[in-house]
Chains A and B, each alone.
Chain A
């Protein structure tokens, strides 16, 4: 077998079968993974959540992960945000002719490991090969189905004045990692992506209380964009305590050098949680017991003042607006 992906490997014949066998089938092995046209699955009890997401991150390998890990985390985290335990995942690859097989194997490895950690089963997939230059490396689309935990109804419109706002760890690491990995700035810093599957964090919270009003993963646009979306959807104001927002010192340093706001850098393993204030401490404690949310912290509260706006209480005791999300900060981060 060639060391690179060829157009023939996407043509549907013997070489396609060989690619699927060698790279994907053995890694994604499970009784549910289909070799037929569609996976046939048991229907989960109760309501299901379903989500799909495309991944085009550049570079496809970065400190803390690769596009494969990202493509599993992205979709299982979207399910988790609806209070759904991830069950099934499908994946579709568009691979550029000439892409190294070794890299494709590393991507498939990461997907298998991450899926196992998230408790989700890969049940179906598709592989296409596009001509050189028609895609950049590899693009992946994943679709997931999850089982909504009985009694959980988190949604962006559910924030209420008085609620506490929690983030599950330091903000902006994924965006910062990709920024540095592209090497446009000649800055070296020890920053790794926060990319992680977050069902364990959500499960820990729902074990404490089902009355969690909003759960959002702060991907593109970061925590700031998510907070503005929630403020608009719920018709509430949001007040943040600037000094309570966890930022890794290296990320903070890069942001100061480049004039960036960490709240607007992407995360791939962080949730914004809004819940009744009286539950907040217990939720933070539960989050800290889960593997990917040990840095959980309360960063502010929901108010009925200035609906639609995010206000910062600054380190010197003044109030300012968090600038509204602007244009594209950095393309192709996920």
Chain B
């Protein structure tokens, strides 16, 4: 029996009077829901919520957009999730390329991109394949299908990211991670257990108001105990073993690679690329693409925002030059980006 009186999750958060505690949510959907629900206002001043690099659009490096534009300017039809169209490259974005005559087609899933390719046999079609473990299996499915069926006009330009090494790279930025529920629904909880042994604490969170507030309350309460911990506060969706079939598919089609995260730099073995057997559907190999290094806008502080080193409103561009209508940094493009959420929900106003 607990000796503490029963409290609601919100009461636990509001009555926390321990030392400063930095909690990082590592998922763009969490960021958006935390803003939408005004969850920060439940927290005492010494609990900081940091919006981590969990929005796939936000961490896609400038050079990837430049690569996509290179393809588009070489006559390839680009199929992509809508958000990426407005992410700035070094000199322009895909919307600019489209206005200048490039073919850029917005799709809602990798499968739509493959379908488009099959319906347009006279075009070379490349899908901009970004996302975390949640979206990788779908990309692997279409890569596998296109490869197996010998679809000659379809390929993927990959910039997938995976979480394990990102947690390690970010460990200094937070005391507790709010782990992304959907990523671990695929990969399971083994990694979270291993991280406890390395001294990294975390709570796996769902996405409703109740689930998020509960997960934060668990984070606060467990932190008071003083030893590293992991709690799965999203057991209705995340099983310890994850989704083995999806993991097996990922491992068969893709392999780990060092990956550049916008704002964070290169994190060792934190990305995925297509295995060599899939060269015929790998745009970089298929089109013998040159190595393209992007140059981000030096004034943009997205990188520091993603690590919790500054608030969006600390960036000189925020809300003035950089708005959701005219984004300079990637964090302002996607609705799940920290800067966009901060801007849309009124920032410091409430």
List the interface of chain A (C-beta within 8 A of B). Answer: 184-186, 259, 306, 309, 311-312, 314-321, 323-324, 326-327
* B325→A316 contact, CB < 8 A: no
Contacts of B345 in A (CB 8 A): 320-321, 323
Q: Is the CB of B344 within 8 A of A318?
A: no
Contact B37 A318 (CB under 8 A): yes
| A and B contact pairs by CB, cutoff 8 A, 27 listed | A184-B108, A186-B108, A259-B336, A306-B349, A309-B346, A311-B350, A312-B38, A314-B36, A314-B37, A314-B38, A315-B209, A316-B38, A318-B37, A318-B38, A318-B39, A319-B41, A320-B345, A320-B350, A321-B344, A321-B345, A321-B346, A321-B350, A323-B345, A324-B344, A326-B324, A327-B324, A327-B325
* A320 partner, pick from B10, B37, B109, beta carbons under 8 A: B37
Closest to B213 in A: A316
What distance in Å separates the Cβ of A280 from its nearest Cβ neighbour in chain B? 26
Nearest-Cβ distance from residue B285 to partner chain A, whole angstroms: 30
Which single residue of chain A is at the shortest CB-CB distance from B343?
A323
Instruction: Classify the secondary structure of B's interface with A.
Output: loop
Report the Cα distance A145→B36, complex, angstroms. Answer: 42
Contact partners of A314 in chain B: CB under 8 A: 36-38, 209
Hey, what's the 0/1 contact readout for B320-336 against A, CB within 8 Å counting as 1? 00001100000000011
Inter-chain contact B350/A316, CB cutoff 8 Å = no
Q: Is B32 engaged at the interface, CB distance under 8 Å to the other chain?
A: yes
Contact B335 A319, beta carbon cutoff 8 Å? no
A323 (CB) vs chain B CBs: closest residue: B344
Q: Does B169 contact A (CB under 8 A)?
A: no
Proximity string of chain B (195-233) to chain A, C-beta cutoff 8 Å, 1 when within and 0 when not: 000000000000001000100000000000000000000
Task: Indicate if B35 sits at the interface (CB-CB under 8 A).
Answer: yes
Nearest-Cβ distance from residue B167 to partner chain A, whole angstroms:
25
User: Within 8 Å CB of B300, what residues of A?
Assistant: none
* Bound CA–CA A318/B324 (angstroms): 25
B42 interfacial contact with A, CB 8 Å: yes
**Smallest CB-CB separation from B334: which chain A residue?**
A259
Chain B's nearest CB lies how many Å from the CB of A45?
A: 47
Minimum distance in angstroms from B347 CB to a CB of chain A: 9
| Residue numbers in A under 8 Å from B36 (CB-CB) | 314, 320
Q: Is the CB of A316 within 8 A of B349?
A: no
Q: Which residue of B lies closest to A258 (CB)?
A: B108
What B residues does A317 contact at CB under 8 A? 10
Contacts A311-B350, A314-B209, A326-B324; is A320 near B108 (CB within 8 Å)?
no
Specify which chain B residues have a CB less than 8 angstroms from the CB of A259 in the assembled complex.
32, 335-336
CA distance A316 to B213 in the complex (A): 9
For residue B107, which residue of chain A has the nearest CB?
A: A184
B108 contacts A319, C-beta separation under 8 Å: no
In angstroms, Cα B256 to Cα A122, docked, is 68
Bound complex: CA A326 to CA B82 (Å):
15
Closest A residue to B40 by CB, please name it.
Answer: A318
Q: How far is the CA of A186 from the CA of B108 in the complex (A)?
A: 9
